């Protein structure tokens, strides 16, 4: 079975990662890290939004508010 070479595509042009310089490979590594962090943070944002919605629903229930009402927090400076 042939092994698949790692490539990166920029503006519809494919580059074989093995053919890149060390500096170019470092930039590819940084891009991969940034993409992974953006994905991780996206999951974290989704989890926090779900938690916020649950807290807002519980607060509205405790206050006797309609479930469809919006919750906005404001803090005094």
Q: What is the pLDDT of residues 33-76, one digit of tens each?
A: 999 999 999 999 999 999 999 999 999 999 998 888 888 888 87
Task: Give the predicted TM-score (pTM) of the model.
Answer: 0.70
pLDDT at 77: 59
Q: CA of 1: how far to CAs of 4, 7, 18, in Å?
A: 9, 18, 19
pLDDT at 3: 77
């Amino acid at each position: 079975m042939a092994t698949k070479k790692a490539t990166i595509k920029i503006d519809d042009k494919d580059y074989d990662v093995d053919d890149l310089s060390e500096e170019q490979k470092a930039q590819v590594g940084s891009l991969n890290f940034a993409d992974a962090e953006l994905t991780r943070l996206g999951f974290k944002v989704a989890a926090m939004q779900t938690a916020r919605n649950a807290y807002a629903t519980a607060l509205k229930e405790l206050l006797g508010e309609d479930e469809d009402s919006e919750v906005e927090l404001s803090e005094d400076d």
